Structure 1
Amino acid sequence: MRNTNSPLPLSLLALLLALNACQPFSRSAQNPRLPTALQAQSNFRKNAITASFVKAYLPTVAENEPLARADAQGPAQELLNLINSAQATLDGAIYDIREPMMVQALIRAKQRGVNVRLVTESDNMGEDTNPCPQPNGQMRKVLQDLLNAGVPIVSDQRSGLMHHKFMVADRQRVWMGSTNLTNSSLFRHNNTALTLVSAPLAANYTYEFEQLFNQKNFGPPRAVLNPIVDIQGAAVKTYFSPRGGGQEAVVAALQNARKSIHFLTFSLTDPQLGEILSGKQQAGLDVRGVFDRCLSKSQYSLYWPLKRTGMQVFIDGNEALLHNKVMIIDGETVITGSYNFSKNAEKSNNESFLIVEQAPELGAAFESEYNRLQYAAQHNNPPDGQCPGTAPPSPPPCQPPDPVDPVDIQIPDFD
């Protein structure tokens, strides 16, 4: 009888180790902290509406970035598809532009005859070592490359942030969400993007873009041409900041919740929203949320006030940022966009978000994303890296700061 407990010959053991070393290492397949069910792709596509999420569910950037880059359905690929298929126009308002892959796609679009126009945040015009454009015209190389290719770029030149993250193709298709055109935002942070095919919705975003690009109008109030757009049976409501009625709309949506509220938040500091969430939990609703690790440490974050009420709130499990701004109500209403749940987002910044109602399939996709991020928050142990924005900015912003409400101090809407 063969002795199964006998040790392997050293020569065979060495061969097995050598063969194993040659195999590609897939942490997503081998990491025991994420069950197979949570590793499945949760992106949603239904003709005119596509939801995509950055695949960043493991503890470290080193683990997440290769998976996100390989994802053929993530926000980066969806945006590339939009840019590469544009035939006549591309209008983009993006807070931060630095990913060369996206810049080259925009340049190629310009070269094939597409009218490409961009709006960005003035504080992000320069390189990281000096974000402010210099008197001699020095600016971030990728932006200079765009200008050299004939792509015009307008910046806001004010203290409030031009915090939009949207692009409109051929006045028919809109890509929007929480994702900037940076390596970190596209491949490291937890982010969301929607791609929607709708001429009336595109008209809303084109009008907002024209106000920024042509009229240089970045201030309040903001207008929407088509407040409610029907897209395949879903009621899609558009909101722009500053002071475009967004905060009131979020309040109303939360107050109408009957069963559940699940949220993913980079910054949640609005006390009125906290009161509603707490009240709904006390009324017996399933209220849960995941906060970004960095901004949960802010003295104005609602993480600890909500946790003290007994609410199930969690700190995210990603070494990089949880950058989402998402609320899912009763499993069929989704709030998502660039709009952090803060006074800055409502009063000062240029922001965009959608409230998509009567959309149970879209809601299910966002619930899937919520579940995987809550699981990661409960099981991952990411390294405690440096949180962006926790040190005084150096160099200072290009524009002198306007007075802000005390509650907004030290709550930067960076990235």
Structure 2
Amino acid sequence: MAIILTAVLFAAPAAAQTRVVFTDPPNSSTAARDAIVEFINSAQNTLDVAIYTLTYGITGGRLTDIAGALQAARSRGVALRLVTDVNEETGTQFTILDILSDGVANGVINRGVVRSGNPGGIMHNKFMVADGWRVLTGSTNFTSAGCLSQENNVLILEGQGIAAAYTAEFEEMWNGIYGNRGQPTFPNSFFTNDGVPVEMRFGPDDDLTGRITTAIYSANRSVYFLVNVFSDGTRAYEIAEALKWAAAQGIDVRGVFDEDNQSSAQWNNLVNVPGISLGDYIGGLNAMHNKLMIVDAGTPQAKVFVGSNNWSNAADLTNDENVAILSSEWWSNHYYDYFRRLYVERSSNANGTQPVRRYGDLDGDGALTQADYAIALALASTGNPASPYQLIVGDVEPYPGMGGHIFGDGRIDAADARWIGETLGIVTGDDRIGESLLKPPGSPVSLAPCTVTAVFGQAFYIQQDDRSAGIRVETSGAVPARGQRVAVRGILKALSGGTGERYVEAQAVSVQPDPGVIPAPLTLRAVWLGGASPPGGYTRSVTGGQGLYNTGLRVRCAGRVTGWGPLSFWLDDGSGYWDGYSGFSGVKVSSGFLTRPTVGSFVTVDGISTMEYVNGQNVRVLRPSVQTDIRVLVSP
């Protein structure tokens, strides 16, 4: 099974309004564009737009896509106001704004609809406010590249308080106030309509770098980031020093950015720092356009920073920027999985062209092997916590995810081990033997790993570790050894020749990497061997069987040897059992070519509880497989 991570509009559970969408360039997703257009189309009365670049789209003098949606909003009576960067009113963008502002391309922009500013920096925002209660923000410019070929995110928030904060920022720019006014945003913290705590901050007034470094210094477990520009400015170095400090405290620090895009100095500054792991985005220059950070993902104190600001002096000191800070464990899981996708699938070492990490590579050696499967099994069986790296690459199931996750559930469990095994071509079923015995002949089964308890030629027996059930397996391929753990996929059948003993005709047998231990035998009286047939009518047992069905299980009987037959002997445990045909008291032990104990000896025999068809009846048989299964206690 392959991991398929589609970029879809993702909403929180239970009538939530907070939504997130990610671009997905390798898969040609239009989800970001569609979310932006949908947001514009939803506006009924007012729509304020602060956008750095708007070139999507125009064809033959007609506005299309995002620009077309804005024009359609005006046409249906929505009061549209748009601010952009003064230096972006050129070329295609000028033409779009010209048409958008007054309906025709007359070379004049109607300033009652479109305004621009910030000649000392850039108006770098990418947000919209609709009808005074809905906000769209994130890193996505309204361009074809921003929506389709760059890695970007779109965040949609609903709530009047949140919208009021963004509207206040918009009003300043609309009225020609750009850059640093020295007036921090207040009030700045609200709840969305679906209960997500959000803090809104705007640059340069709100010291965005200070907010970022404070969060890093407060981290308890992890700091993950995706940044388009991580420059060599003094404020960017403040962030770098905070990341170094966090790594030195044992915080897991990982990031992805473009090593060639104004960020080479910080790459060189951080790439060899112990405890910091970086990925160079391999999608091309400027393609990794996100500006987001997740602190303590998957914990109650998690925070997600989402917005327009790069990590640079300009973004902090002169540009008009915005950041939404979500305090949400649920949403931190969602953004964390997006980070995982880029960190694992789409980043490399500096200037690399292929990913250096892969899902399931739990030991970090760059390859997916049985060693990784063994680690996953151990983590799943013991419940021990996985390392942060192991969670990043190994928590792949379920898909879709749980608890806000796009995929996975925040742990390494049996489902993840199964995914790794299946990827390696290992049989990793989850059927139990006891439940399979209730199925009719011809049913396909894929048995979860069990221990091999006995081998007889091309047949062997396996049983559950809890000793609840065992079954015969027949294979034409390599036969596993006693004590190995195997998973078996095949078809349920019944032995011909009378007994009808159930077995699996194996199509695939996978030896597991974890060492098995042969379960201790169940000690039974001879009259209890075989047991009663299980319900369902598909599985036969011994004639007159009583108690729990135990055919196929490794059991132990003790008693006196009463006689010998061809490749066999009889064992009387004093329970009064007699098979009705042999002339000896006790149960038959089918010893094959093993050395038989002398008649009159007192012995214990470990073996498989099975049966033979004699005179129209299934009679009890105990079948040892190795000499040590027969132990003489007292010789005659």
TM-score (norm 2): 0.49
* Contact kept in structure 1, 2:230 and 2:263, CA below 8 Å: no
Structure with the larger RCO, 1 or 2 (CA within 8 Å, 6+ apart): 1
CA deviation map 1:145-174 (0-9, x unaligned): 112236711110513100010000001100
Give the total of aligned pairs.
323
- Tell which structure's C-alpha radius of gyration is larger: 2
In 2, Cα distance between equivalents of 1:354 and 1:369: 17
Q: Is the 8 A contact 2:43 2:130 kept in 1?
A: yes
Q: Which amino acid aligns with 2:323?
A: F
Checking the alignment, whether the CA contact within 8 Å between 2:118 and 2:178 is kept in structure 1 is: no
Given that 2:118 and 2:319 are in contact with CA atoms closer than 8 Å, whether structure 1 keeps it comes out as no
Match of residue 239, structure 1, among 185, 190, 201 = 201
Is 1:98 aligned to residue 39 of structure 2? no
Give the corresponding residue for 2:308: 338
d(CA) in 1 for partners of 2:147, 2:183 = 28
Q: Which of these residues, 131, 138, 141, is aligned with residue 95 of structure 2?
A: 141
Report % sequence identity: 28
Secondary structure in 2 matching 1:39? coil
Report the RMSD for the aligned CA atoms in angstroms.
2.0
TM superposition shift of 1:40: 4.0
Whether 1:373 aligns to 2:342 is: yes
Contact 2:294 2:335 in 1 (8 A): yes
Moved more, 144-153 or 313-322: 144-153
Shift of 1:336: 1.0
CA distance in 2, matches of 1:205, 1:260: 29
Counterpart position of 1:77: 34
Match of 1:406 in 2: none
Corresponding residue number in structure 1 for 2:44: 87
Q: What is residue 318 of structure 1 aligned with on the other side?
A: 283
1:291 equivalenced with 2:260 (yes/no): no
- Structure 1: any 5+ residue segments left out of the alignment? 1-34, 59-63, 129-138, 383-415
User: Within 1, Cα distance between the matches of 2:2 and 2:237?
Assistant: 38
CA displacement, residues 292-346 of structure 1 (integer Å, 9 cap, x when unaligned): 2431654xx4111111213210100212510101110110310010011111111
State how far apart, in whole Å, the 2-side matches of 1:205 and 1:373 are.
29
Question: 8 Å contact 2:73–2:80 — kept in the other structure?
Answer: yes
- Write out per-residue CA displacement over residues 327-375 of structure 1, whole angstroms, 9 at most, x where no aligned residue: 1011031001001111111110000011111x11111111111011012
SS of structure 2 residue aligned to 1:224: coil
Aligned residues of 1:317 and 1:373 also touching (Cα < 8 A): no
> Which structure is higher in strand share?
2
Aligned pair in 2 of structure 1 residues 315, 155: CA closer, same or farther (>3 Å)? same
Answer whether contact 1:42 1:368 (CA < 8 A) is retained: no
Assess, with a 3 A threshold, how the Cα gap between structure 1 residues 217 and 87 changes in structure 2: closer, same or farther. Answer: same
Shift of 1:41: 4.1
Q: Give SS of 1:68's match.
A: coil
Label 1:40 to 1:75 Cα distance change in 2 as closer, same or farther (>3 A).
Answer: closer
Distance 1:55 1:363 in 2: 19
Q: For 1:9-65, what per-residue CA distance to the aligned partner results, in whole angstroms no more than 9, with x for missing partners?
A: xxxxxxxxxxxxxxxxxxxxxxxxxx8325344753121211111112x3xxxxx5x
After superposition, the C-alpha distances for 1:56-98 in whole angstroms (9 at most, x for unaligned) are 2x3xxxxx5xx223xxxx2221111111011000000100111
Are the equivalent residues in 2 in contact too, given 1:266–1:324 (CA < 8 A)?
yes
Q: 1:272 to 1:68 in 2, by over 3 A?
A: same
CA-CA distance at 1:217 after TM superposition: 4.2
More divergent stretch after superposition (119-128 vs 160-169): 119-128
Query: What secondary structure, in the 3-state scheme, does the structure 2 residue paired with 1:335 have?
Result: strand
Q: Which residue of 1 aligns with 2:239?
A: 273
Letter in 2 for 1:90: L
**Alignment-mate amino acid for residue 348 of structure 1:** T
In 1, Cα distance between the equivalents of 2:322 and 2:269? 27
Whether the 8 Å CA contact 1:95–1:124 is kept in 2: the answer is yes
CA distance 1:354–1:281, shift in 2 (3 Å): same
Q: Does 1:307 align with 2:277?
A: no
Equivalent residue runs for 1:7-406 within 5 Å:
36-41=2-7, 43-46=9-12, 47-56=16-25, 58=26, 64=27, 67-69=28-30, 74-100=31-57, 101-127=65-91, 140-149=94-103, 152-156=113-117, 158-231=119-192, 232-269=194-231, 270-295=236-261, 298=264, 301-310=265-274, 311-319=276-284, 321-331=287-297, 332-357=302-327, 359-375=328-344, 376-378=346-348, 381=353
Cα distance in 1 for residues equivalent to 2:118 and 2:166 = 21
The alpha-carbon distance between structure 1 residues 235 and 157, as it changes in their structure 2 partners (threshold 3 A), is: closer
8 Å CA contact 2:226–2:290 kept in 1: the answer is yes
Structure 1: how far apart are the matches of 2:184 and 2:161? 14
Residues 7 and 23 in structure 2, CA contact (< 8 A), matched pair in contact too: no
What letter is aligned with 2:23?
Answer: V
The offset of 1:224, in angstroms, is: 2.4
Flag the 1:372–1:38 CA change in 2: closer, same or farther, 3 A.
farther
**SS of match in other structure, 2:187:** coil
